[in-house]
Amino acid sequence: MSRPRILVINPNSNQLVTQGLEQALKPLGFEGGPEIVCETLTEGPYGIESQADVDGVAMPLRRLVEGDNHSAAFVIACYSDPGLHVCREATDRPVFGIAECGVLTALARAETFGVIAIAQRSIRRHVRYLRQMGLMDRLTRERPLNMSVAETASGEGTLAKMIEVGRALKDEDGSGAIVMGCAGMARHRRPLEQALGIPVIDPTQAAVTMALGTVQFSHH
């Protein structure tokens, strides 16, 4: 019998991001556990930075989900959770959004959480989404790196900047945990956590963890 599959969809068309997800999720690839497959939405933009980028991938994501008869669960790996509800409408199988799962996992670790965004312009969208989820009460603040997605992915100064912003979230804003507000920051999670001394949540890892539990408990 084949292993159930968790499909992690990178809604942008940047293959390097998808490869980064594969790397970041390896610790959940258990023998005897679900297969975790990362896939690029080829119709997606190179990066998801604007509302148009977010809304533009909703229906392509749905088509991908509808056309998939194999996967046991889906994870949409973009911190704006594009198309989450329209994908859930398309299937009875579970669909997870990494923003929602990232925040929910932070709430399981600490009294309060802060968020590191890449760009200032995303914060208003993220906060609107937190309000939609009813999860504002324990948010301290979201602060931006003020870097482009590209800079964040490749730049050498990224970790240093994340530590600086994370310290402000912890010390000035009183955050007890940090959510990294982007799908492409996973390799910085451990050094950031060590530098800050509080839990740091990678949202894709958080979502795939929840997906793994869901799949395991419905197949055994």
Give the residues lining the site for a second copy (CB under 8 A): 26-28, 30-33, 50-52, 54-56, 58-59, 62, 83, 85-86, 88-90, 94, 96-97, 100-101, 104-105, 107-109, 111-112, 124-125, 127-129, 131-135, 137-138, 174, 176, 189-190, 193, 199, 202, 205-210, 212-214, 216-220
């990232």: which residue's tokens?
102
Q: Minimum distance between the CB of residue 17 and a second copy, rounded to whole angstroms?
A: 18
Query: Is the Cβ of residue 16 or residue 108 nearer to a second copy in the bound state?
Result: 108
d(CA 83, CA 89): 10
Q: Minimum distance between the CB of residue 147 and a second copy, rounded to whole angstroms?
A: 20
d(CA 137, CA 104): 12
Q: How far is CA 208 from CA 11, 92, 216, in A?
A: 15, 18, 12
Query: Is the Cβ of residue 15 or residue 218 nearer to a second copy in the bound state?
Result: 218
d(CA 63, CA 157): 38
Q: What is the DSSP letter of 152?
A: H
User: Do 186 and 205 touch, CB atoms closer than 8 A?
Assistant: yes
Q: Minimum distance between the CB of residue 167 and a second copy, rounded to whole angstroms?
A: 16
Query: Is the Cβ of residue 37 or residue 135 nearer to a second copy in the bound state?
Result: 135
